[in-house]
Structure 1
Amino acid sequence: MGHQRLGKLPAHRFLPEIVRYLLDGGTPTADLVDQVTEVGRDALQRAVKDPVFIAALWLLVRMPQAAASNSAPDGWAALDLKGGQAASLTDLLVAFDTALERVQRRSAGGATDLGEIARQSAKSALAETLQPRLPVLWTPTAEDVRRSLASLRSPEAFADLAQRFHSRFVDRVIHYFIDRNLHRMIGPERFTKSLNDVESFNGAVRRHCDEASLIMRAYARDWLGKNQYRDGKTLTREDIRRFTGYSVEKLRIELAQRKGAP
Structure 2
Amino acid sequence: MIDASNDPAVKHSVCLLTQIPIAAKQEDFAFELRKLGLNVSDRPSLIQVVSAMTEAVDRHVGRVGGRTDLGEMAQLSAAESLNAVARRELPDLFGATPDKAKAALGGLGTVKQFAALARDFFARLSRRQLSYFLSRELSQHVGVNSRFHTIRDHRDFESALDLHCREASRIIKEFSGEWFSKHTHEGGINEAKAGRFAHVAFKKLREELRHRRDTHG
Residue identity opposite 2:172 in structure 1: M
Partner in structure 1 of residue 63 of structure 2: 106
Alpha-carbon distance, 1:232 to partner: 5.1
Partner in structure 2 of residue 63 of structure 1:
20
Question: Aligned in 2, Cα 1:240/1:112: closer, same or farther, shift over 3 Å?
Answer: same
- Distance in structure 1 (CA, Å) of the matches to 2:43 and 2:133: 35
Provide runs of 4+ in structure 1 moved above 4 Å. none
- Alignment-derived partner of residue 205 in structure 1: 161
How many angstroms apart in 2 are the aligned matches of 1:233 and 1:89?
27
Structure 2 CA distance for aligned equivalents of residues 86 and 117 of structure 1: 28
From 171, 189, 194, the counterpart of 2:127:
171
1:260 aligns to 2:217 (yes or no): no
SS of residue in 1 equivalent to 2:40 = coil
SS of the residue corresponding to residue 196 of structure 2 reads: helix
CA deviation vs aligned residue, 1:50-69 (integer Å, no higher than 9, x gap): 01101111111100110111
In the TM superposition, residue 222 of structure 1 has moved relative to its aligned partner by 1.1
Report deviation, 1:182. Answer: 5.7
3-state SS of 2:214 partner: coil
Match of 1:127 in 2: 83
The SS at the match of 2:169 is helix
Alignment correspondent of 1:251: 205
Letter paired with 2:193: D
How far did residue 205 of structure 1 move? 0.6
> Based on CA coordinates, which of the two structures has the bigger radius of gyration?
1
Cα offsets for 1:109-149 (capped at 9, x unmatched): x2211101111111121122112111139531111111111
Q: Structure 2 regions of 5+ residues with no counterpart? A: none
Instruction: Please give the alpha-carbon distance, in whole angstroms, between the structure 2 residues aligned to 1:137 and 1:96.
Output: 19
Deviation track 1:46-86 (CA, whole Å, cap 9, x = no partner) reads x0110110111111110011011123222111110002356
C-alpha displacement at 1:227, in angstroms?
2.3
Separation in structure 2 between the aligned mates of residue 137 and residue 255 of structure 1, nearest angstrom:
35
Equivalence for 1:136: 92
Residue type of the alignment partner of 2:32 = G
Letter paired with 2:15: W
Identity %: 29
Looking at structure 1, the residues matched to 42 and 146 of structure 2 have their Cα atoms a distance apart, in angstroms, of 50
Instruction: Check conservation: 2:21, 2:106, Cα contact below 8 A.
Output: yes
Match of 2:189 among 205, 225, 235: 235
Q: CA 1:184/1:133 → structure 2, altered by over 3 Å: closer, same or farther?
A: same
Segment drifting more, 117-126 vs 173-182: 173-182
Contact 2:40 2:49 in 1 (8 A): no
What's 1:73 paired with?
A: 30
Distance change in 2, residues 1:54/1:96 (3 Å): same
Task: Tell which deviates more after alignment, 119-128 or 243-252.
Answer: 243-252
Q: Which moved more, 1:115-124 or 1:245-254?
A: 245-254
Decide whether aligned partners of structure 1 residues 91 and 257 sit closer, same or farther in structure 2, where only a CA change above 3 A counts: same
Tell whether the 8 Å contact from 1:160 to 1:217 is kept in structure 2 after alignment.
Answer: yes
